[in-house]
Every structure is written in C-alpha cells, then in structure tokens.
Amino acid sequence: MTYRAAMLVALLPTCALATPDDTPFENPARLNAVRPAAVEANWTSMKMPDGGRTAFTSMSYLMAFDDDWGFGPGFYGTAKGNYGGIFTVGFTGQRRWRLSANTHVAASLYVGAGGGLSSAQTRFGGGLMLRPELSLRTENGAWYTGIGVSQIRFPSGNVKSSVGLAFTVGRAMDFASFSPDDAGRRARAGRRTGLGFDEIALTAGFEKPRASSRTRGGAPYSGKVGKAGGELRQYIAEGSWWGVEAAGAAKGGVDGYMEVLGQIGQDWALFGTPRLRVGGQLAGGLGGGGNVDTGNGWLMRAGPTLRWITPWGPTVRMDAGYTYAPSGAYTAPYVRAVLAMPLDRTPTLIGSDPGGTVRVQQLGASVLHLPRVRFKNGREEAVSHLAVSMSREFSSHVYGTAQAGSAAAGSAGAYSFGLVGLGVQSAPLWGHTRIGAEWLAGAAGGGGVQVGGGAVMQAEVWAQWQLAERLRLRAGVGQFRTLRGGDQSSALTHLQLSYAFGTLQR
C-alpha cells in the first residue's frame, strides 16, 4: 500500500498515553505519532563477470517521511548459483506515485556496501553498491506485489548487471512512536511501539563441521567455527515467536563468513515454571563467505532451545541443533549461548496495561573512516565503511548499541562487520548536546583485511547534536582493533545521522 496522504498524529487515549514518572495515569498527555511503513523483499537476476549467473534477494524496512517519500535500512545477498556469501548492507530511498486505488509506481535507489567471493574475474572494488529500480505495484489489502526494471552495480569494481526484470513483494504496516522528548516519562500503549520487536539479544557459540563439509576449493574442514551475532524477536503469543538473526565468524580461520536468517519457534513451561521454558526453533536464510561452501547461499537451521526469563528482566538462553547448506557442502551441529534484553511485549488493552517508561531508540546511517587498515598481504591503506546503526536506552544514562556494515571506499570490497555493545551518555549539557562513550565487540572479515579469527572490538567517545525533534547528528573518534593479538589496530572517525523516536520499556 502506498504511503498515506500525511503523517498521522494519534491523539486518542486508546493508542498511547504519556505522563511524568511521579504522576498517575489519569489525565495523561497524548504524544504518540504514527507513520506509514512497509517491509519489502525483491529478487534480481544477473550475470557475473566470470560468466556465471546468480540472483540477489533483499529485505528492506521503509518508513514514510511525508506523503510520497520513504527511507530505511536493508540488506542484499546472493541466493542462486555458486555465489553464496555475497552480502551488502545499506539504505533505500523510495518515491511513490498513486495510479489508482490499488496500484502505484515506485522509483527506488539502494546505496549499500559489501561484496564477497572476489577473484581475478570478479572484483567488488571498494565495496560500494548501487541499485536503482522502477516498478509497478498492485495492492491486495496490506500486501502488494510488483514487477519492474533494475540494475545492480559496484562502481569501483567490475560487477555490473544489465538492466533487467526485478520482482517485489511487500507488506504495508505502520510505525508508532512517542516523541524522544518524552524520555523518562510514564506511558501506556495498546500496541507495540518503534520497530515492533520485543527482545534484542547477543549470541555467541560455535559449530563443528561434519566430515562431509568442504571449503570452496574442495578441502575437508577441520576444527571449530566460532560465531558472534545478534537477534531481534517478536512474541506473537505466550511461547511463540518469530525473529531475525545475523552472525559472523569470530574464530576458526573463516573470517568473512556471514549469515542472515529468519526464525520461528515455540517453547513451553518446564516443571510448571513459566520462567523456565523448553522448546524448539526453525530458521532459514542466507549465509556464506570465509571459504565456506554454502553453494548458492541458502541455509537451514533447526534445534532445541532452553530459555530462562530472569526476575530482573533479561533472558538467558541455550540453543543447539544443526546448520545445513542444501546446495553446498556444509553441515554442522551448533551450540550457542544467548543473552537477551526486553524491548516491548505482546500488546494488551489499555485498561489492563500496567504501562512503562518511554526510552529513546535511534536508527541511523554511519560512515566510519579508518586511516590505517592492515591487509593480509602486508600493505596498509585507508578504508571507509558504511553501516546501519541502532541504539536503545536502558536508562537515562546507559544504552545498548549495534552496528552492521561493510567497506564502501578503499580496496577492501567484501569486508563486512557486525558489532554489539553498551554505551554511557550524559544528560543534555548545553541546548540539546550530549557527550558519551561506547564499547562494542563482534565479528568481521573478508576483503583481504587482516583480522585473525574474526573477533574484533571498537571503542569510541562522541558528541551528539539535536538537529530537529527526531533528527540527530553525531561525531566520534576512537579505535578499532582485533580482540586477539596485534593483527589489526587503527584509529577511527565516525559520523552518524540518525532518526530518534520514543518507545516503551515495560
């Protein structure tokens, strides 16, 4: 469905109510805003420079800025041919024109960074990817499908498709949020706010490839593969969930491996204790890189899960099972530990909703410049990264943060990273300016960059300026390095533009 005629400011008490911490919920201020949003997936076939054929599939989240324009983060990955492991992360801008009650035309431009599986015939250059598209969409309720023309190109490399057909499927939704100026105030809402997820988690574990697993060169695998990543979940009923997860190699000599999967699951109370639960989950998506033979990139995962919901809010979980690449030569049992923090919960009616506290969440675009990056062949050069960044306050001074991105300038195309961590921030000092510091850790690799096993960290101090009610500009300086040994260490500068919104912490 096309973006609505205008943004809606919801003033109804059944939608969202906010009050100061020390006042009751009677006569609350009504400060909730609702914007149109959409989730889109598309499929684009192309011929690679080495003569093989592949297809890029994507997932994007778009939020309306006004009557006609939308913008949001997304990722692309290969899902056809023997090219599993090519990924990019970036942002899409989209303009829509309505033709009739059930059709619209959309013009989109995706700007991202990444790559993978580079060779003498296939080069991604610095990693910057552009994908313009023009498509015609037909709507059926909240769902829509489309067909159009698009082109994929890496301007500093030789990977470029001809203009060809692209197919789109999407679902219209909305994005409900409080003003970020309401941070710290009490509120109720009869719906989820923000991005709509109930939980964010940090994952860490390992896989032991079976004897049948092979590298892309056909050599047997030996040893373990350590992974680190993150996860977002939404609970649709007690013990039932869906979510998305992403992880990268952090140990085991396969730096550059990356996976992005969707998941569903169910668990049940164990021994009659609602906080201790046992169940299972299924996941499917894309993965590859790091010389792991995942074939066309499709991955499947299944196994049991044990979850303990602590009385203090966080959740601790143990997962196990198997990862399998249907068209490749990779099968591995896995074990991982998960620490999850609550964001929201399944909506309840206003009358039975105990309410919560408004906390600020930010979704942004980051450019990070590293002036001295060491490569495996011994050379050093400057590299710039493009990343999707997200942060969420846990209190007025402590927040969680995550970044996912890839090299976009330099000669490290196919280098990607994913980081999660914690930060501290001041109260507003002068005007709406804040200062703070953060520490993140995660996995990185690819593009010939020297990162050891793939485990990395990033520390930064920053200053942030409020440009408008929901718009923030942040500049920071810090250091990026590998966690083990002296494989990599570089200063960094970070510039981030983000959209801030208030969500409920319940």
pLDDT digit string, tens, across residues 337-362: 999 988 877 666 555 666 778 899 99
pLDDT digits over 454-478, tens only? 889 999 999 999 999 899 999 999 9
Per-residue confidence at 389, pLDDT binned at 50, 70, 90? Answer: very high
pLDDT at 32: 56
pLDDT digits over 35-53, tens only? 889 999 999 999 999 899 9
Ranges assigned E (strand) in 289-329:
298-309, 315-325
CB within 8 Å of 410: residues ≥ 6 apart: 126, 127, 373, 381, 382, 383, 384
Using the predicted structure, report yes or no on whether residue 16 has a pLDDT greater than 80: no
Average pLDDT, the chain: 88
pLDDT at 352: 62
With 0-12 / 13-18 / 19 or more C-beta atoms within 10 angstroms meaning exposed / middle / buried, residue 71 is: middle
pLDDT at 8: 37
CA-wise closest residue to 134 among 100, 111, 168, 169: 168
CB within 8 Å of 285: residues ≥ 6 apart: 259, 260, 261, 262, 298, 299
Instruction: Give the residue with greater pLDDT, 34 vs 24.
Output: 34
Give CA–CA dist 426/108, Å, rounded.
38
Task: Provide the residue ranges of all domains of the chain, joining segments of one domain with +.
Answer: 8-177, 197-342, 356-505
Q: Name the least confident of 26-40, 330-344, 398-412.
A: 26-40
Instruction: Judge if 8-177 and 356-505 fold alike in CATH terms.
Output: yes
Asked if residues 128 and 385 have their Cβ atoms less than 8 Å apart, the reply is no
- Percent of the chain surpassing pLDDT 90: 62
Select, from the ranges 145-154, 157-166, 270-279, the one with the highest average predicted confidence (pLDDT): 145-154
Average pLDDT over residues 206-227: 88
Using the predicted structure, report yes or no on whether residue 17 has a pLDDT greater than 60: no
pLDDT at 293: 92
pLDDT at 348: 62
pLDDT at 504: 83
Determine phi and psi for 44, rounding to 5 degrees: -130, 115
CA-wise closest residue to 436 among 471, 475, 388: 475
The third-level CATH classification (topology) of the domain covering 197-342 is Porin (2.40.160)
Asked if residues 219 and 211 have their Cβ atoms less than 8 Å apart, the reply is no
Using the predicted structure, report yes or no on whether residue 9 has a pLDDT greater than 70: no
Average pLDDT over residues 390-404: 92
| Spacing of C-alpha 51 from chain mean position | 31
Q: Name the least confident of 20-34, 211-225, 467-481.
A: 20-34
Using the predicted structure, report yes or no on whether residue 6 has a pLDDT greater than 70: no
Average pLDDT over residues 263-268: 96
CATH number of 356-505: 2.40.160.20
pLDDT at 7: 39
CA-wise closest residue to 449 among 126, 87, 75: 126
Give CA–CA dist 130/110, Å, rounded.
6
pLDDT digits over 167-182, tens only? 999 999 988 888 888 8
Binning the chain into helix, strand and coil, the percentages to the nearest 5 are 0, 65, 35
* Architecture of the domain defined by 8-177: Beta Barrel (2.40)
Per-residue confidence at 240, pLDDT binned at 50, 70, 90? Answer: very high
